[in-house]
Chain A
Amino acid sequence: MKLSEIIMLTKGILLTKKPTENCEISGAMGADLMSDVLASIKPEAALLTGLCNPQVVRTATIADIRAIVFVRGKYPDPDTVLLANEENIPLVITDLGLFEACGILYQAGLPSFELKSQEDSLL
């Protein structure tokens, strides 16, 4: 699914500068704990989260996350946007809640990229 489609479906707004029309997102995960994200997200996913600090962007670069969607109308710290522009990670904000945003994207065909914690196929 293209990022532009994700933005449309979640009625989101893109905060970062780079054009993202062709950014391809293969799946998604919703979480607020970055260690959980590092432990269980597959590459090329979008991360839906309520956490707004720069660590989200760091986590994205380390875990090969393609885009971040901030839920519940939360607005990320200026430092977070700055870092995202630097690291080329698109940031999207949406007024939808985490549950609703995930549900809409899942229903539209975006698969879950969240692995079970026991699975030894972390990477």
Chain B
Amino acid sequence: MKQYEISDEVAESITRVEELAYELRIHEVMTQDVFCVEPDMQMGKVLDIYQKERFSGTPVTHEGKLIGILSLEDLIRALRDNNLDASVGEYMTSPVTSVREQDPVIEALKTFSRTKYGRLTVLDNDKNLVGIITKGDVSNGLLSALERDYHAEELIRYRASHLFEDIVSGRTSLILRYDIRKGDFIHGGNASSKIKRALLRLGASPQIARRCGIAIYEAEMNLIIHTTHGGTLRVEIEPHKITMEAYDDGPGIEDVALAMKAGYSTATHEIREMGFGAGMGLVNIKRCVDEMRLISTKDRGTNLYMIIYLNNTNEQNQDS
């Protein structure tokens, strides 16, 4: 991180922290193997232990059962009372506020803000003490989860974006292929989402990824809606251009010029009900790509070529 201004990425990671507070479970961030004190222990002894171990609080257990919690503040009260001979039982807080280990971290955060306590005991399903959680545990847990997240995606992106530099050849390209089944509306757009994600990981700008995504999505839906047996999407990624192809083995387009007209469609009523077949697909594709070629032979099949050039000024289809 070179700069400290709030970039989009940083803003994004702020919401990610909130998401993580729901995703992470309390047992993933809590401190395990907690040191406990007995209620009949003298406060003076506790002072020694806290000082030596740098504790700021401990659960109080009696015969293995959780009966209270003692904090640094309780110790200070005993010191102020000049009463270090007193027992832990006299100064501890009871009953104890606990959270469950399987609950999301957000539950602990809510309890912290509701009770103003600095630490909570963590119980398993059988109400056994399994750990303790402080706000510090939560921050540390969230930070390391965030770091894991960040490194995982960074690593994928780094590896992918260096692909073309690491592998040297006369002309290097990466080819992605997806078979698309006729009528498979449930998975329609699945391949396109994967292609868009791959492009982003390879270092494409969000605008380029979006243009490719829209073009290939329309092409994918065409294969699902209009073909006899489905077809194939093929995306060839090169450092200077992205070539996308959608091809099938029928039925072919009778009048290509007519098919290219905005609003013309042969889609059935059912397909229109699904939000497609408005006769905008090919028109949309044409607007998103730099070059488009549609070759179709009746009863033989259709080949649709779409090319987007990278690193040039030909990105006229941009918005604000």
Contacts and interface: CB of A to CB of B under 8 A. Distances in A.
Contacts of B284: 35, 38-39, 122
Given A35-B280, A51-B274, A121-B319, A21 B18 contact: yes
A58 B189 contact: yes
Contact of B193 (A21, A62, A122): A62
B168 interface: no
B207 interface: yes
Interface in B266-299: 274-276, 278-281, 283-284, 287-288
B317 to A, nearest CB: 5
Contact of B317 (A32, A33, A49, A122): A122
Interface residues of B, number: 40
Nearest to A23: B15
**Among B14, B196, B210, B318: residue with most chain A CB under 10 A:** B210
B192 A58 contact: yes
B185 interface: yes
Contact of A35 (B14, B189, B276, B316): B276
Contact of A19 (B19, B193, B210): B19
A21 to B, nearest CB: 7
Contacts of A18: 19, 22
Given A35-B284, A64-B206, A22 B14 contact: yes
B189 A59 contact: yes
Given A18-B19, A61-B193, A61-B196, A56 B275 contact: yes
A120 B288 contact: no
B288 A123 contact: yes
Interface string B15-50: 100110110000000000000000000000000000
Contact of B211 (A21, A36, A49, A123): A123
A42 B319 CA distance: 8
A54 B188 CA distance: 8
Interface in A23-61: 23, 32-36, 38-39, 42-43, 49, 51, 53-56, 58-59, 61
Contacts of A63: 210, 213-214
A98 B66 CA distance: 56
B217 interface: yes
B71 to A, nearest CB: 31
Contacts of B262: 117
B317 A38 contact: no
A99 B131 CA distance: 53
B186 interface: yes
B218 interface: yes
A79 interface: yes
Contacts of B274: 51, 53, 55
Interface string A57-80: 011011110000000000000010
B211 to A, nearest CB: 5
Contacts of B320: 42
Given A23-B15, A42-B319, A55 B288 contact: no
A61 B189 CA distance: 9
A11 interface: no
Interface of A: 17-19, 21-23, 32-36, 38-39, 42-43, 49, 51, 53-56, 58-59, 61-64, 79, 87, 115, 117, 120-123
5 contacts: A22-B15, A53-B275, A58-B193, A59-B189, A63-B210
